[in-house]
Amino acid sequence: MKSIGPIQIKYNNVFDIHDPADKVKSIGNVKITYFNAFDAQRLFGKIKSIKGNSKKIYVTK
């Protein structure tokens, strides 16, 4: 899925070398970061933070 109406959805790809592939990177202005190759291996791929939530667009764990 690339968008929901005017809201763009972006994913990690080959240019995000240390991040988990194919995970949602952002939904509109909301950015999602994950534990990556520099963090503990047991946490790799789990959500680290969600920033940019607003009343119109928000993401929760």
Q: What is the pTM of this model?
A: 0.82
Neighbour-count burial for 40-52, b at 16+ CB within 10 Å, e otherwise:
eeeeeeeeeeeee
Instruction: Render pLDDT for 36-52 as a digit per residue (tens, 0 to 9).
Output: 999 999 999 999 999 99
> Confidence class of residue 21 from pLDDT cuts 50, 70 and 90?
very high
Q: Does pLDDT of 60 surpass 90?
A: no
- CA gap 43, 55 in Å, rounded: 29
> Confidence class of residue 30 from pLDDT cuts 50, 70 and 90?
very high
What single letter denotes the amino acid at residue 20?
Answer: P
Average pLDDT of the chain, as a whole number: 92
In the chain the beta strands, taken as DSSP E runs, fall at 3-4, 7-11, 24-27, 30-34, 47-51
